[in-house]
Chains A and B, each alone.
Chain A
Amino acid sequence: MSLLIDRLWQGLLDTLLMVGVSSLIALIAGIPLAVFLVTSGKGGMFEAVRLNRLIGSIVNLFRSIPFLILMVALIPFTRLIVGTTYGVWAAVVPLAIAATPFFARIAEVSLREVDQGLIEAAQAMGCRRRHIVWHVLLPEALPGIISGFTITLVTMINSSAMAGAIGAGGLGDLAYRYGYQRFDFMVMLIVIIGLVLLVTLIQLGGDKLAKAMNHRT
């Protein structure tokens, strides 16, 4: 029994580590990417139409590959980055690469929804472009970006279950091995309940934070 609890605990830690690190990378890389996608289009502040199209295509490419395949395809790259192709850290690399374009596209939508009038007002008051990004675009889109990040976290919990295929462990892997391979439905049930609780907690926290940041109403 105590062995099972240890395994469950370890699984939870592995999941949190994989999801946490990959989502953090997605947050840091995804926001500049989203800002670029929004501002570099035709007529944008940092207009660079060709580069915008190129980056947009790359984002779409990564978004269209199923995670399991992406993970396998990235094995050489993963080895290059973390020096191993097995375990939690090896899973972080493909997870982060999947999460970044995913989150960037969601953040992009929020950034696009910022009223053009606000950008015009900022230009009229003598803001430079970087001021507009920092003082207008990001703060105004923040509630949407937080909601988007919540969705990213939940999606990464989902994807991390597949990381068991490269021996990364985690709750999903535990449920697969005990529940599917050993027919131990008890363990599977516990894991499912745990995952539901985890997702609910993240969703509630994200919603609450997004609401606190929203002063529009």
Chain B
Amino acid sequence: MTGSITSIRQARNTHEAEGDQSSHALPYALAATTLEHAETHIRFQDIGKTYSGEQGPVRALHGIDLVVRKGEIFGIIGRSGAGKSSLLRTINRLEQPSEGQVLIDGEDIGRYGTSELVALRRRIGMIFQHFNLLSAKTVRQNVELPLKVAGVPRQERQQKVASLLKLVGLENKHDAYPAQLSGGQKQRVGIARALVHDPDILLCDEATSALDPETTQAILALLRDINRSLGLTIVLITHEMEVIREICDRVVVLECGAIVEQGPVWRVFGDPHHDVTRTLLSPLQQTLSDDLKAHLLTQPLRQNDALLLELRLNGTNSREPDLGLLFSALGGQLTLVKSAIQRLQGRTVGHLLVSIRHSPHAQEELIKRARRIFDDVEVLGYVAAD
């Protein structure tokens, strides 16, 4: 188990370290294309949810149309109160939509009676922010419970529990109580419990929000691992863009109960259209530092003042930040001020801040030349030469 996580991490690291375009783009691009054609697993049709609040009805969700494909990791992000939690819970009907339908494998789950609903919930695992483990039961009993209530014979239960606890790396914690475990271990028990019926959908409700960054990485790697090895569809909600970037294939941004943006993760990250998305992304994006901002001039005062350019890659044209090419195209004295470039699903997205001094070309010509290499170029201003 630990081995598989490490191998995933190593794979990702090598990815990020490699510069050559042909070798690294492959696995992610391949995964992305296969999923493009994957069949629909969950379909939301015009979902609306209205609660009766103390000051009249509250609209938690409205007009949600979405498709989650088989085998993908689908992220739902939004600020708190955006309706993420309600939307996620319509999938296993912990939340009953006021309008619209949720179709799973083409079936309207809103029509299910109690027995069908219980059967559906056994096909859908769920993990929670605060783990929701039973304090009075041991790790083994917690994982065993879903099987026990389904009437699975004892011996079969024990085998299943043992194999799942091994999968999540807790093979020597069978008889511990949840209170004796760390946060990360508790979530591993939660994952084992969610997988005990061999579900084909896993719902993650802020599953890493109560964990420290290192544990978060390990749990996300485990989820990615499970997604690949079991072919499970994962729907997760989070308020952390970090989580989306780390494991999601596609993402939808919710605000005030409605979808404001959706698409593959590289596109939403590379070219966010909505203000909410930008706000959510801001902790991950580097902007101009305050001291530079203070010295920024709109017009050059002297001949050798440096021109500050922001060069963006949004992933659509699969371009690479080729610095050699940039240097020979712009000429003069080129300095890298800041960079935030990341590789997402085989595409390079992000931006570079560079300053150019003593260039033989005029500003318009510089922008034109930079546009041949980058998707978007913006003049930030001038910095006085000291």
Residues of A within 8 A of B (CB): 115, 117-118, 120-128, 131, 135-136, 139-140, 142, 213, 215-217
Nearest residue (CB) in B for A120 is: B94
Interface check B157, CB cutoff 8 A: no
Contact across chains for B177 and A124 when beta carbons are under 8 A apart = no
Chain A residues positioned under 8 Å from B197 (CB to CB): 125-126
Offer 27 A-B interface pairs, CB within 8 angstroms, sorted by A: A115-B132, A117-B130, A117-B132, A118-B132, A120-B128, A120-B132, A121-B133, A124-B94, A124-B121, A124-B126, A125-B122, A125-B149, A126-B119, A126-B146, A126-B149, A127-B145, A127-B149, A135-B145, A135-B148, A136-B134, A139-B134, A140-B134, A140-B135, A140-B136, A215-B135, A215-B179, A216-B135
Rounded to whole angstroms, the CA-CA distance of A125 and B143 in the bound complex is 10
**Do A124 and B136 touch across chains, with their CB atoms under 8 A apart?**
no
Distance between B96 CB and nearest chain A CB, rounded to angstroms? 12
Known: A115-B132, A126-B119, A213-B136. A121 touches B126 (CB 8 A): yes
Q: Which residue of B lies closest to A123 (CB)?
A: B94
Q: Is the CB of A121 within 8 A of B128?
A: yes
User: Of B136, B146, B149, B203, which is within 8 A of A139 by CB?
Assistant: B136
| 6 closest residue pairs by CB, A with B | A121-B132, A139-B136, A125-B146, A215-B177, A126-B122, A124-B126
- Taking the complex as formed, is B30 at the interface, i.e. its CB lies under 8 A from any CB of chain A? no
Of chain A, the residue at the smallest CB distance from B119 is: A126
The answer to whether B149 touches A128 (Cβ under 8 A) is yes
Q: Which residues of A contact B146 (CB under 8 A)?
A: 125-127
CA–CA, A164 and B197, complex, Å:
60
In the bound complex, do residue A131 and residue B149 qualify as a contact, i.e. CB atoms below 8 Å apart? yes
Residue of B nearest to A142 (CB): B136
CB-CB nearest in chain B for A119: B132
By CB atoms of chain B within 10 A, which of A124, A128, A140 has the most?
Answer: A124
- Residue B79 interfacial (CB < 8 Å): no
A45 CB → nearest B CB, Å? 12
Which of B118, B132, B203 sits near A126, CB closer than 8 Å?
Answer: B118
For window 93-141 of B, CB contacts with A under 8 Å fall at 94, 114, 118-119, 121-122, 124-126, 128, 130, 132-137
Q: A117-B128, A135-B145, A217-B179 are in contact. Are A126 and B121 (CB under 8 A)?
A: yes
B145 closest partner in A (C-beta):
A135
Q: Does B92 contact A (CB under 8 A)?
A: yes
With both beta carbons as reference points, the residue of chain A lying nearest to B115 in the complex is identified as A128
Closest to B130 in A: A117
**Min CB gap A100→B, angstroms:** 25
A131 vs B114: C-alpha distance when bound (angstroms): 14
Q: In angstroms, how far is the closest chain A Cβ from the Cβ of B106?
A: 21
In the bound complex, what is the Cα–Cα distance between A142 and B126 (angstroms)? 26
Once the chains bind, are B193 and A125 in contact (CB under 8 Å)? yes
Does B336 belong to the interface (CB within 8 Å)? no
Most buried by B among A117, A121, A122, A217: A121
Q: A125 contacts B136, CB within 8 Å?
A: no
* Residues of chain B lying within 8 A (CB to CB) of residue A117: 128, 130, 132
Shortest Cβ distance from residue B113 to the other chain A in the assembled complex, whole angstroms:
12
B124 CB contacts on chain A under 8 angstroms = 124
CB nearest neighbor in B for A138: B136
Determine the chain A residues whose CB is within 8 A of the CB of B122 once the complex forms.
Answer: 125-126
Q: Are A216 and B179 within 8 A (Cβ)?
A: yes
Q: Is B38 an interface residue (CB 8 A)?
A: no
Contact residues in A for B150 (Cβ distance below 8 Å): 126
Once the chains are docked, how many angstroms separate the CA of A118 from the CA of B190? 12
CB contacts (< 8 Å) of B179 on chain A: these are 215-217
CB distance from A126 to the nearest CB of B (A): 4
> What residues of A have a CB within 8 angstroms of the CB of B137 in the complex?
139
How far, in whole Å, are A112 and B127 apart by their CA atoms in the complex? 23
Instruction: Tell me the nearest residue of chain B to A118, going by C-beta.
Output: B132
Which residues from B are CB-within-8-Å of A115? 132
Chain B residue at minimum C-beta to C-beta distance from A143: B136
Residues of B within 8 A of A123 (CB): 94, 121
For the complex formed, measure the closest distance between the CB of B197 and the CB atoms of chain A, giving whole angstroms: 7
A125 touches B94 (CB 8 A): no
Given contact pairs A118-B132, A127-B149, enumerate 9 new A-B contacts (beta carbons under 8 Å): A123-B121, A125-B149, A126-B118, A126-B146, A139-B134, A139-B136, A139-B137, A215-B135, A215-B178
Closest Cβ neighbor of A130 among chain B residues: B149
Contact A128 B118 (CB under 8 A): yes
B134 and A118 form a contact (CB under 8 A) = yes
